Structure 1
Amino acid sequence: MQPCPYNITEILYHAPPMILIDRVEAYDAATVASVVDIWADSPFLECGVVPAYVGVEYMAQSIAAYSGIKARNAGEGVKIGYLVSTRSMILSCPAFAIGDRLDVTVKLVYDEKPMAVFDGTIHRAEKLVAEARLNVYQP
């Protein structure tokens, strides 16, 4: 994997405050590794925690970053995409707390444009805390 040369705002179709991932640390032809830091001003924070189910959006935005990196590398603009469904989602914790660093990884499983399937994981302190298979659509 190689470092991502782009700022997160350059590769996501989203705009603040709905950009939920902080940065992409590395990528390759099939994988993106991104980071989410949970802070006091993190979106969806309530009573000091973000519910673990928000992790599906962390994975979805990491997939969007994968698409954005591919588009930028090809000299194209970033395009909108949609999370269609999630299968086999497993959450091993109820929430993410202020100060947590989440390492999000998404890996392409199947690509038949305009549909694609990715496997996603979230690790906190090297422990797997969430995993899912995500189906996405990019018109």
Structure 2
Amino acid sequence: MQPCLYDITEILYHAPPMILIDRIEAYDDTTVMSSVEITETSPFMAEGEVPAYISIEYMAQSIAAYSGIKARNAGGEVKIGYLVSTRSMTLGCPAFHPGDRLSVTVHLVYDETPMAVFDCAITRNEKLVAEARLNVYQP
């Protein structure tokens, strides 16, 4: 794994305020590790918490960052991608709260461009709080 030298805005097709992940901690040829700091102003904060189902977007944006890093490293442009489906999504808590620091790991398990499949996991304090397999498409 190596550190990411790009700002998150340089590798995601999204624009604020819809950029939900804060930074890429490390990456390699098949994996990206990102982080999310839950604050009182986090998108989707309602009644003092972010619903855990927002995890799917943290995972999807981490996959988008993986694609963006690959594109930038190859001298290309960041392209739009789509979440096609998910299988076996499991949530280990109902919500996230201000002060929570989430670690998101996405790992490429199948690449048949333009389709790909990633195994994804989110931990909080080293405890698994969400996992899923996401199918994505990038035209």
TM tier relative to shorter chain: over 0.9
Alignment of 1:1-139 (within 5 A): 1-139=1-139
Tell me by how many angstroms 1:130 deviates.
Answer: 0.3
Measured on the aligned residues, the alpha-carbon RMSD in Å equals 0.3
Tell me by how many angstroms 1:84 deviates.
Answer: 0.4
Tell me by how many angstroms 1:51 deviates.
Answer: 0.3
User: Distance between the aligned counterparts of 1:60 and 1:84, measured in 2?
Assistant: 10
Unaligned stretches of 5+ residues in structure 1: none
1:22 maps to a residue whose letter is D
User: Distance between the aligned counterparts of 2:96 and 2:138, measured in 1?
Assistant: 29
Q: Deviation per CA, 1:31-55: give whole Å up to 9, x if none.
A: 0000000001100000110000000
Tell me by how many angstroms 1:95 deviates.
Answer: 0.3
- Secondary structure in 1 aligned to 2:40? coil
Unaligned stretches of 5+ residues in structure 2: none
Q: How many residues in Structure 1 have an aligned counterpart in Structure 2?
A: 139
Q: Normalising to structure 2: TM-score of the pair? A: 1.00
Q: Deviation per CA, 1:37-80: give whole Å up to 9, x if none.
A: 00011000001100000000000000000000000000000000
1:103 maps to a residue whose letter is S
Q: Normalising to structure 1: TM-score of the pair? A: 1.00
User: Distance between the aligned counterparts of 2:47 and 2:86, measured in 1?
Assistant: 27
Q: Deviation per CA, 1:92-139: give whole Å up to 9, x if none.
A: 000000110000000000000000000000000000000000000000
Work out the percentage of aligned pairs sharing the same amino acid: 78
Tell me by how many angstroms 1:11 deviates.
Answer: 0.1
Q: Deviation per CA, 1:15-38: give whole Å up to 9, x if none.
A: 000000000000000000000000
